[in-house]
């Protein structure tokens, strides 16, 4: 994943997408996805998230695939 540089302001359609996304999950509790190796918190998913995503741990560098549909809350 490339690091985003914030030298230019975000275009309005991107800002709106961010706003809409936040609104869509308002009041919903997110499930935390942790690195299976070092337990570092990588991201949070909401109940309507489905499909597979490629993850790379920002802490230990472990790469793995997350099945969003079946991934359960880490204990």
Residues that bind Zn ion (CB under 5 A): 35, 37-38, 40, 57, 59-60, 62
Q: How far is the CB of 43 from Zn ion (least distance, A)?
A: 12
Q: In terms of CB distance, is 25 or 34 closer to Zn ion? A: 34
CB of 55 within 8 A of CB of 67?
Answer: no
Q: In terms of CB distance, is 37 or 73 closer to Zn ion? A: 37
Closest CA to 61 of 31, 40, 33, 75: 40
Q: In terms of CB distance, is 23 or 72 closer to Zn ion? A: 72
């Amino acid at each position: 994943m490339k690091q985003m540089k914030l030298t230019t302001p975000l275009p309005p359609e991107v800002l709106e997408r961010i706003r809409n996304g936040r609104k869509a999950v308002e009041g919903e509790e997110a499930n935390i996805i942790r690195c299976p190796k070092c337990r570092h918190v990588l991201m949070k998913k909401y109940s309507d998230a489905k499909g597979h995503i490629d993850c790379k741990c920002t802490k230990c560098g472990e790469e793995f695939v997350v099945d969003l549909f079946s991934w359960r809350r880490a204990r």
